[in-house]
A and B are shown apart, each in its own frame.
Chain A
């Protein structure tokens, strides 16, 4: 496992900087999504635009059920959009004439409650992508999976089923399962929501380590402000339903990041800057009293 120890250089430090990432640029333009569940139009996303640079860690912060996930689902190709367009590296994912993006291994989702197949071992889960895409034979895929798991500090757990390991390990294995496909974008939908603070902090470190190593574009949904600032390059605060962009904050904390930054002055300034905007939306969301919607 690779946990940065304060005062000691992180293993990535001192290495040659990773070449500037060239893929994973997402452009979201005027996206609107209207649901029609029971004859009542519900607007989940309203005229939302974002530009996410290649290799950026983009954090979307907003109250529960505000429509953040809708946006993620549109990028992943789980849902259609009503109007607007989303492009990945200039190529149209969805837009006029093509309301729903095709699902593909260039955009891989890590789910809120985890979606490792419980009937496959961790290694089989990780090997799944390359195997079904026909990139590797089953044997080679499994071999590579074991290697990748070991790289993430999960070497001893390749033969275990997801039901046998902790949620933290499962989530890390899920990220390994995504990254083995070399995706352009990693889409994370509140992956650490149900975790306790201690586990969460370890998950953050490991995600940061993964990011420093791969520089993959990350689209991360959360309602945890500290998490957003600690991990992100840019924090997008969105309004309660319908989801609109309320505030964009650039986080200029240096990378690689470590836990000492959580108590730095800079960090606290950023928290207070964003907090007000988030709190306002939280109150609105609470007052509307609507049931959360996925």
Chain B
């Protein structure tokens, strides 16, 4: 276990709550005293060990064709990769950058359209009745099925890709925002009414902040959805992107870059969703502080 300089019998002094980096450092130090980081590390180790055992250790039938962790990692960190992709090739970063840019635009568009749409759907019964059936019909259609239509609808390579990723995350954002508005306790609307609010006041001071926790849950899911729609979306593009890397590696039968692409996409996706969560926490101090008091 990590040793800390703070003696345990010292009564902690109430002081100004740390913010920013200091807060992050405080959380990190605190987490070292909990089992979480150790279990996480052990969990990752266990996962990799099983993976290695199946593919490279025991070399079980069927698994033997799958690139094992040692192969992947040595290729990933190789200065001279045999299958073309490693952290030392500029191409690798180009794939990441292109995908990030597409996701950023798609996520921005989906948020800019989905949040207002969801707010209106949750707030206005009539608007809900107009739009909900259409949304519910379109929502289950897999992004892959939209690919041909996207190509027909839009010119070039970039627009259809962004359209597809936007579409994927739009539904999640809209639905969650709508549920967020519907989850607001009726008493807040009544209280606002009593206190002399106009409709716009209610929208600004009750509907939007009340739905915010759901909106950010939705945004965290929606950025994830945008990432996993990427393989389908980047089918359209003929040059770069992590989704394209995965797909083209598969088509060309080079499995190692494919797995590198998959893992990279996973990590970058995880990072972006942490980013969204951090923005959310910043905007919802009331929510964070209430949860902190419950010890969460």
Known contacts A119-B210, A119-B284, A161-B285; A177 and B195 CB within 8 A of each other: yes
Known contacts A119-B209, A119-B212; A161 and B286 CB within 8 A of each other: yes
Q: Does A11 contact B (CB under 8 A)?
A: no
Q: Does A107 contact B (CB under 8 A)?
A: yes
Alpha-carbon gap, A119 to B188, bound state (A): 11
Alpha-carbon gap, A121 to B210, bound state (A): 14
Do the beta carbons of A163 and B286 come within 8 Å of each other?
A: yes
Tally the A-B contacts, defined by beta carbons under 8 Å.
79
Report B270-294 CB contacts with A as 1/0, cut-off 8 Å. Answer: 0000000000000011110110010
How distant is A37 from chain B, measured CB to nearest CB, in Å? 16
Do the beta carbons of B193 and A103 come within 8 Å of each other?
A: yes
How distant is A82 from chain B, measured CB to nearest CB, in Å? 20
Do the beta carbons of B212 and A76 come within 8 Å of each other?
A: no
Do the beta carbons of A132 and B191 come within 8 Å of each other?
A: no
Size class of B's contact patch? 20 to 34
Which stretch (B66-74, B95-103, B196-204) binds chain A? B196-204
Which residues from A are CB-within-8-Å of B193?
Answer: 77-78, 103
Known contacts A113-B187, A117-B209; A108 and B195 CB within 8 A of each other: yes
Which residues from A are CB-within-8-Å of B191?
Answer: 109, 111, 115-117
Closest to B291 in A: A163
Do the beta carbons of B205 and A132 come within 8 Å of each other?
A: yes
Q: Does B22 contact A (CB under 8 A)?
A: no
Q: Does A164 contact B (CB under 8 A)?
A: yes
Residue in A76, A78, A120 whose Cβ sees the most chain B Cβ within 10 Å: A78
How distant is B268 from chain A, measured CB to nearest CB, in Å? 32
Do the beta carbons of A118 and B195 come within 8 Å of each other?
A: no
Alpha-carbon gap, A133 to B193, bound state (A): 11
Do the beta carbons of B196 and A104 come within 8 Å of each other?
A: yes
Q: Does B185 contact A (CB under 8 A)?
A: yes
Which residues from A are CB-within-8-Å of B285?
Answer: 161
Report A174-188 CB contacts with B as 1/0, cut-off 8 Å. Answer: 000110010000000
Do the beta carbons of B290 and A115 come within 8 Å of each other?
A: no
Q: Does A251 contact B (CB under 8 A)?
A: no
Which residues from B are CB-within-8-Å of A115?
Answer: 185, 187-188, 190-191
Closest to B193 in A: A103
Which residues from A are CB-within-8-Å of B287?
Answer: 118-119
Q: Does B194 contact A (CB under 8 A)?
A: yes
Which residues from B are CB-within-8-Å of A105?
Answer: 194-196
Q: Does B206 contact A (CB under 8 A)?
A: yes
Q: Does A129 contact B (CB under 8 A)?
A: yes
Q: Does A128 contact B (CB under 8 A)?
A: yes
Which residues from A are CB-within-8-Å of B209?
Answer: 117, 119-120
How distant is A114 from chain B, measured CB to nearest CB, in Å? 8
Which residues from A are CB-within-8-Å of B196?
Answer: 104-105, 129, 132-133, 181
Closest to B190 in A: A78
Which residues from B are CB-within-8-Å of A107?
Answer: 194
Do the beta carbons of B205 and A76 come within 8 Å of each other?
A: no
How distant is B283 from chain A, measured CB to nearest CB, in Å? 10
Which residues from B are CB-within-8-Å of A77?
Answer: 193
How distant is B198 from chain A, measured CB to nearest CB, in Å? 7
Which residues from A are CB-within-8-Å of B205?
Answer: 117, 120, 128, 132
Alpha-carbon gap, A181 to B192, bound state (A): 13
Which residues from B are CB-within-8-Å of A129?
Answer: 195-196
Alpha-carbon gap, A168 to B194, bound state (A): 21
Nearest 8 A/B pairs, CB to CB: A163-B290, A119-B209, A103-B193, A115-B187, A115-B191, A105-B196, A129-B195, A133-B196
17 residue pairs bridging A and B, Cβ less than 8 Å apart: A76-B194, A103-B193, A104-B196, A105-B194, A111-B187, A115-B187, A115-B188, A116-B191, A118-B287, A121-B286, A129-B195, A132-B197, A161-B286, A161-B289, A161-B290, A162-B286, A177-B195
